[in-house]
Structure 1
Amino acid sequence: MRNILRWTTALSVLAASPAFANELTDTNYPDTRRGDVVETLFGEKIADPYRWLENDVREDKEVADWVARQSAFTDSYLKQLPQRGWFEEKVRGLLDFERFGLPDKAGKRYFYTRNSGLLNQSQLFVRDGLDGEPRLLIDPNTWASDGATALSGWTPSKEGSYLLYSVQDGGSDWRILHVLDVATGKVLEDEIRWVKFSDLAWVGEKGFLYSRYPAPGEGEAFQSANYDHTVYYHELGTPQSQDVVVYRTPEHPEYNHSVTATQDGHWAIVTSSIGTDARFEIHAIDLTSKDWTPRVVVGGFDDAWELVEGMGDKLWFVTNKDAPRKRLVQIDLGSKTPKMHEVVPQAEDILERAGIVGNRLVLNYMRDAASHAVIVGLDGKSAQEFSLSGIGTASGFHGKPGDPETFYSFTSFNRPPSIFRMNIETGETTPFAEPEMDFDPEDFAIEQRFYASKDGTKVPMFIVRRKDVVAAGKPVPTLLYGYGGFDIALTPGFSASRMAWIQAGGAYVLANLRGGGEYGRAWHDAGRRENKQNVFDDFIAAGEYLKAQGITSEDGLAINGGSNGGLLVGAVTNQRPDLFAAAVPQVGVMDMLRFDRFTAGRYWVDDFGYPDKEADFRIIRRYSPYHNIADGQDYPAVLVTTADTDDRVVPGHSFKYAAAIQHADLGDKPHLIRIETRAGHGSGKPTDKVIEESADILSFMAEWTGLEVPEF
């Protein structure tokens, strides 16, 4: 099915439509105006003919027209793919199960999210007591007719009297805060706007702390760079204009500030960062004092510091200071100068996070990108390994000092998240919510292998297939996924779209590339800035390994990645177009010379470098997807995806890249762009849109790798 004839036939079908009559030939894409922008950067002339596509689609009629024509072109092609109907129904079926979020206990109340199956947005429930009757508190599905307004975050006050929650509209990173009276279900008049990248922290039952930026100028909300992040205190019943500045750095408007509070209400902890690197300064504010003057706990922006919990003047942190794989320390604020001592030293595995539950510490470790947990005393002694159900990812273990109850989640490639309740003192674990699926997890094989990258570095990958596919021993169409950046570890987890690909008979492969957080600080450093090419080499080596090992055929490999992973897909497609049959870069950073000029892009210099510094420019210029398209070479089929409300990686990145690959001579396979409306970088996307997008992407990759879907 996947050949030039299919592409030509598809276009012939499209050409029969009046909207496309006399417009299409084999690769006759919608017209895109080429501008004459040329800049000289460090002695090199850089052409940017599609600069105009950076403009906001809401404000620029020419960009809006281009988006409409590209969307019609792409939609018409995707809708006729023979595999699409199967994938749409399969993904819908795999999402149609009851699923829960981790409960949060406040006072005697338990708060948690639940989706009955195909609701566009999960609902928020509360129980008065663990065995109490569930009561619906918030239903985001009533907020917008298209389901694109989401409940993005929430936290109950300590006694559970109030619920502070944030609303996300159309996938944007901007949030609006509201407060709900839990007893009555009434939403209070309090409303806070222009919140972004914020934690939420209650101060007693009468107010809360949050972070926001100044209100943007007219027409700049989704494009302009974000500066002057500030922590505020809001007292219930007062207007936002009266909110009090708690922490701000006007002399350093580039700093980011998030705030949290200890369970005993003693300290507010402000964590400041400069970019995306986990290099923080920590300030503490004594909430029991009338004087909320911030006190320096850790200065210097040298290391990572993640607050675990506080009791009295003692604070526990997970840090990589003098421990690249992280350790647990305690800092005593009882003296004039904070004193630190080690509680749990660095281990061979990565210490991801920790929590205090009752009178013990739960330590969540990662070993070769999979989770395991250890329980120790508050002094770090008497370690006890906590057994999990095979290769997977555990999360949660949140709790309160003095309360032995905690909840955790476990998931894997073949297992949707299950929620468990645990008594830390007795060790008793009981299910809180286990999903019922229409497939047997034991029908699927999860294998971890290590392969050699270009420089000999051993890189892990997970390979997931049906067991009967493994037994057959034949190459199958394979979806290779990667990210490789920002100290983010990719771990086993359930995805309906990936499971649909696997159930169709394909292989799914997750490569744990350098640049991520799978092995600590050194692994991250080996894949960023001047070492970024290592990430691309790791991914290319993964593709070569899968072919050499007979996992996939010579023309059966599809690649996919989002955000920084979209950059990855764009870069390796330019560098090795012969290796891949299909490529799907999602919401990718494609113009590496201008990424720092929009919204949150300026934070990414920690991983990418500074485009306005010559040494960094020379590096990123070599791999920028938009600037390195290999004109004259045959490319794989490419489906670029983005969304009109993405204010994390602005859609102009994908617009420009798609225009450039359509203009270049790259062979006969299709090079398309899919543009979602009323959606952003990914979070808050309604279920209906998730199903549609998954069906489009999976059927596109199936078409060009030869994956034959089963009969209905």
Structure 2
Amino acid sequence: MSKTNFLTAISVALSALCLAGAVQAQSLSYPATRKVEQTDSYHGSSVADPYRWLEDDHSADTKAWVQAQNAVTDQFLAAMPQRLPVRRLYTELYNFEKFGLPFKEGGRYFWTRNDGLQQQSVLYTASALTAQPAVALDPNQLSKDGTVALSGYAASRDGKLLAYGSSKAGSDWQTWRVRDLASGRDLPDTLEWVKFSGAAWTPDGKGFFYARYDAPAEGAALTGSNYFQKLYYHRLGTPQADDTLVASNPQEKEWGFGAEVSDDGKLVYISVWKGGNKNGLMVLPLSKGAYPGAAGGAPKAVTLAFDAEYVPVASMGASTLIVKTNQDAPRGRLIAIDLKGSGKQAWKTLVAEGSDALTGASAVGGRLLLRYLRDASTLVRIHGMDGRALGEVALPGVGTASGFAGRSDDAETFFVYTSLNSPATIYRYEVATNKASVFKRPQTAFDAEQFETRREFVTSKDGTRFPIFIAHKKGLKLDGSNPTLLYGYGGFNAAMTPGYNVTAATWMKMGGVYVLASIRGGGEYGAAWHEAGTKLKKQNVFDDFIAAAEWLIANKFTQPAKLAINGGSNGGLLVGAVVNQRPELFGAAVPQVGVMDMLRFHKFTIGWAWVPDYGSSENAEEFKALLAYSPLHNIRSGGEKPYPAILVTTGDHDDRVVPAHSFKYTAALQAAETGSAPKLIRIETQAGHGAGKPTSKIIEERADMLAFIAHRFGMQLP
């Protein structure tokens, strides 16, 4: 859809909303949700699961339930006078050019661009940064409704071919194809049953490594003894059935594989994952940049202890490998591994652990570029290939910088810098001179000069100190009256650092305060910080988030009636848990695609891989901890403290956090006596976990979230 057509569609939709908004909902009546007699026994404890039937999202009963719930929610949202102006504002702020980080292959540059309101970003290529770019691949042409997205892509070393993955409706399942960039046509090669994988070309350009699952037998479920990932090599021009098996382990069905080819083409780095943030590492020698197939031998294990993170950074020939790890170093270090040696005696510290958390490393232009977090803000340090400290890369301020990818002989690299009130700017960095210059700076309708960001520190229940980032209009009065939106995640070693997003910008333009909490469970301070928010220690995450809310109230930013909380996926779990524990602390809550049933999460799709973070109900001690905070199982019915207004969001095609989590949680909320505030669910049809979601769907969902909060807080919008 062109920008003109998209804006026309938005205008028509907004006109309809204006008419709908004039009709106020007289009452809120939830659809009846039947209960079934289902009780499970866990280590001698009986736990009822009356909404088990909602786990089957393909059944006619569940589809009817979804339709009934959406009808109630649609009526409520359409009657909100805030819906029209919020969607208009969100669309305005979303409508700016967005660029992806450039990379270079075969003397050609590649980067993505979205003109503002395109459903999917387009991949471009150019012979020089100043040359007119040409379209390499436009995913908007892959479907009529924009729901097919690029899930990954990799250019061959000569820059002539592009392997690319596509996914539909936000699914994790991908189909990979190969495009001839000169002709713009796809080759016959088609690879199916790919999930959680990229592509790594051999330097000869004759094929690439990728990971996939076996195709299930007709009518069979994607579970069972054959449902495990394998690493293959695909040679161009051959059918997928003839791909060469490189690595698999039927005895360890939780193993997954990722491959990367060294810059000199002598090694394939094979990362082995099985959930959590600890991985194994293997290497496979290549001969003259080619993979000879079965004659190439088996991968050699560097370590399969799964006791830490091991991320390959660079190799020097076929004998020395530089690795980023947190083994014996919770905040991270670089080590050099002699591949001819054996055991950890062959490991040598190249850059020692410091006081800041090492989050990324790359080797470009004969230098090591190391990215650190200090109180959730990025620092970039330069080291020689021998580990010697050579200085720092100057960054614009307290914010987030990412990128710095490239090959060891590249003279340049690119990085993106952003903060809560600064849209992502892309910089070209010249390694030899340590100079950065702007490559692309977006022009937006958001005037950053009208807003300010500050970093404050909060002390949690057990005395742990953590940062929060607060953004708002300049001249804010600390009188406790400000509508405030608090966002958190707190899991899977994912660091929450300040970065521009349209949701925050829209909320600030509406007059609200936006707050990002960098709580335990993330990677802001290294492995120990992450582990302090996992398994039996997961309550620390909720305590931190509650402490952030209490700090905002105590320091007169807001009050409970005007404090909203939001988080997605693991962050949806966070929101559900803290609402149960402290309902009186919040005026509104929006858990998005949340993990809500902590006793059964590991039984669906990739849920088993989350056990290292959450634990499992199959373990007696962990079961007690999970049951104690599971959002589904701890809804307080008939209590003295009414719940805030809650809008649950999910997608009916989410095959990562299956929608059953949100379905069952919403049904339980609506059946309980939790007060008169609305408890609604917004179910996006033909949508998944969020990745690749078309622009129109992003705008509609996130604008509805902000309008729901604004409506609850009585905010008057023009």
Which bin holds the TM-score, normalised by the shorter protein? over 0.9
Distance in 1, matches of 2:252 and 2:465, equals 41
Assess if the C-alpha contact under 8 Å between 1:11 and 1:77 holds in 2.
no
Corresponding residue SS for 1:517: coil
Assess if the C-alpha contact under 8 Å between 2:393 and 2:434 holds in 1.
no
Distance in 2, matches of 1:92 and 1:219, equals 43
Match of 2:545 in 1: 539
Distance in 2, matches of 1:682 and 1:86, equals 24
Residues 1:305 and 2:299 are matched in the alignment? no
Match of 1:258 in 2: 258
Match of 2:240 in 1: 240
Bigger drift between 499-508 and 259-268 goes to 259-268
**Deviation per residue, 1:114-168 (Å, 9 max, x gap):** 1011000000111023333210121111222221110121111111111111101
Match of 2:643 in 1: 635
Corresponding residue SS for 2:476: helix
Corresponding residue SS for 1:250: coil
- Taking the TM superposition and a 5 Å limit, the aligned residue runs for 1:491-502 are 491-502=497-508
**Deviation per residue, 1:35-73 (Å, 9 max, x gap):** 11112222222111100000023xx11111110111111
Assess if the C-alpha contact under 8 Å between 1:225 and 1:598 holds in 2.
no
Residues 1:374 and 2:381 are matched in the alignment? yes
Match of 2:566 in 1: 560
In structure 1, runs of 5+ residues without a counterpart are: 1-8, 16-25
Corresponding residue SS for 2:500: coil
Assess if the C-alpha contact under 8 Å between 1:231 and 1:247 holds in 2.
yes
Distance in 2, matches of 1:39 and 1:550, equals 46
Instruction: Count residues with an aligned counterpart.
Output: 688
- Taking the TM superposition and a 5 Å limit, the aligned residue runs for 1:345-360 are 345-360=352-367
Bigger drift between 252-261 and 582-591 goes to 252-261
Displacement of 1:14 in angstroms is 4.3
The 1:54–1:225 alpha-carbon spacing in structure 2 relative to 1, beyond 3 Å, is farther
Assess if the C-alpha contact under 8 Å between 1:87 and 1:699 holds in 2.
yes
Assess if the C-alpha contact under 8 Å between 1:374 and 1:385 holds in 2.
yes
Distance in 1, matches of 2:225 and 2:436, equals 47
Match of 1:508 among 503, 514, 527: 514
Distance in 2, matches of 1:692 and 1:27, equals 22
Match of 2:122 in 1: 123
Bigger drift between 578-587 and 291-300 goes to 291-300
Displacement of 1:337 in angstroms is 6.7
Assess if the C-alpha contact under 8 Å between 1:230 and 1:247 holds in 2.
yes
Distance in 2, matches of 1:178 and 1:221, equals 25
Distance in 2, matches of 1:419 and 1:195, equals 31
Distance in 2, matches of 1:555 and 1:649, equals 30
Match of 1:113 in 2: 112
What RMSD, in angstroms, separates the aligned Cα atoms of the two structures? 1.9
Residues 1:83 and 2:88 are matched in the alignment? no
Displacement of 1:458 in angstroms is 1.1
Match of 1:454 in 2: 461
Match of 1:694 in 2: 702
TM-score, normalising length: structure 1: 0.94
Match of 1:594 in 2: 600
Distance in 2, matches of 1:220 and 1:545, equals 52
Displacement of 1:221 in angstroms is 6.6
Bigger drift between 476-485 and 400-409 goes to 400-409
Which letter does structure 2 place at the counterpart of 1:414?
N
Match of 2:609 in 1: 603
Residues 1:660 and 2:668 are matched in the alignment? yes
Displacement of 1:76 in angstroms is 1.3
Which letter does structure 2 place at the counterpart of 1:244?
T
Distance in 2, matches of 1:240 and 1:489, equals 38
Match of 2:350 in 1: 343
Distance in 2, matches of 1:526 and 1:401, equals 36
- Taking the TM superposition and a 5 Å limit, the aligned residue runs for 1:289-688 are 290-313=295-318, 314-335=320-341, 339-470=346-477, 475-633=481-639, 634-688=642-696
Corresponding residue SS for 1:494: coil
Assess if the C-alpha contact under 8 Å between 1:582 and 1:701 holds in 2.
yes
Distance in 1, matches of 2:226 and 2:323, equals 28
Assess if the C-alpha contact under 8 Å between 1:353 and 1:365 holds in 2.
yes
Which letter does structure 1 place at the counterpart of 2:158?
E
Residues 1:49 and 2:50 are matched in the alignment? yes
Displacement of 1:698 in angstroms is 0.3
**Deviation per residue, 1:357-397 (Å, 9 max, x gap):** 11111111111111011112111114211111111111111
Displacement of 1:224 in angstroms is 8.2
Distance in 2, matches of 1:56 and 1:86, equals 34
**Deviation per residue, 1:85-141 (Å, 9 max, x gap):** 111111111111111101110011111111011000000111023333210121111
Displacement of 1:474 in angstroms is 5.2
Which letter does structure 1 place at the counterpart of 2:617?
P
Distance in 1, matches of 2:216 and 2:678, equals 39
Match of 2:148 in 1: 149
Assess if the C-alpha contact under 8 Å between 1:226 and 1:600 holds in 2.
no
Assess if the C-alpha contact under 8 Å between 1:109 and 1:130 holds in 2.
no
Displacement of 1:704 in angstroms is 1.6
Match of 1:5 in 2: none
Displacement of 1:489 in angstroms is 0.6
Assess if the C-alpha contact under 8 Å between 2:271 and 2:282 holds in 1.
yes
Displacement of 1:223 in angstroms is 8.4
Match of 1:211 in 2: 211
- Taking the TM superposition and a 5 Å limit, the aligned residue runs for 1:11-26 are 13-14=24-25, 26=27
Distance in 2, matches of 1:450 and 1:427, equals 32
Displacement of 1:217 in angstroms is 5.2
Corresponding residue SS for 2:703: helix
Corresponding residue SS for 1:145: coil
The 1:292–1:160 alpha-carbon spacing in structure 2 relative to 1, beyond 3 Å, is farther
In structure 2, runs of 5+ residues without a counterpart are: 1-19
**Deviation per residue, 1:474-514 (Å, 9 max, x gap):** 53010011111111110111111111001111001111111
Assess if the C-alpha contact under 8 Å between 1:224 and 1:599 holds in 2.
no
TM-score, normalising length: structure 2: 0.93
Corresponding residue SS for 2:76: helix
Displacement of 1:708 in angstroms is 3.0
Bigger drift between 374-383 and 223-232 goes to 223-232
Assess if the C-alpha contact under 8 Å between 2:21 and 2:81 holds in 1.
no
Distance in 2, matches of 1:702 and 1:219, equals 47
Distance in 2, matches of 1:81 and 1:371, equals 40
Corresponding residue SS for 2:73: helix
Assess if the C-alpha contact under 8 Å between 2:42 and 2:617 holds in 1.
no
Corresponding residue SS for 2:525: coil
Distance in 2, matches of 1:115 and 1:542, equals 35
Match of 1:64 in 2: 63
Match of 1:40 in 2: 41
Displacement of 1:473 in angstroms is 5.3
Identity of aligned residues (%): 47
Residues 1:280 and 2:279 are matched in the alignment? yes
Assess if the C-alpha contact under 8 Å between 2:587 and 2:712 holds in 1.
yes
Displacement of 1:13 in angstroms is 4.0
Distance in 2, matches of 1:222 and 1:547, equals 48
Bigger drift between 618-627 and 337-346 goes to 337-346
Displacement of 1:10 in angstroms is 9.3
Corresponding residue SS for 1:468: coil
The 1:669–1:499 alpha-carbon spacing in structure 2 relative to 1, beyond 3 Å, is same
Distance in 2, matches of 1:258 and 1:456, equals 39
Displacement of 1:696 in angstroms is 0.8
Distance in 2, matches of 1:429 and 1:87, equals 37
Displacement of 1:422 in angstroms is 1.5
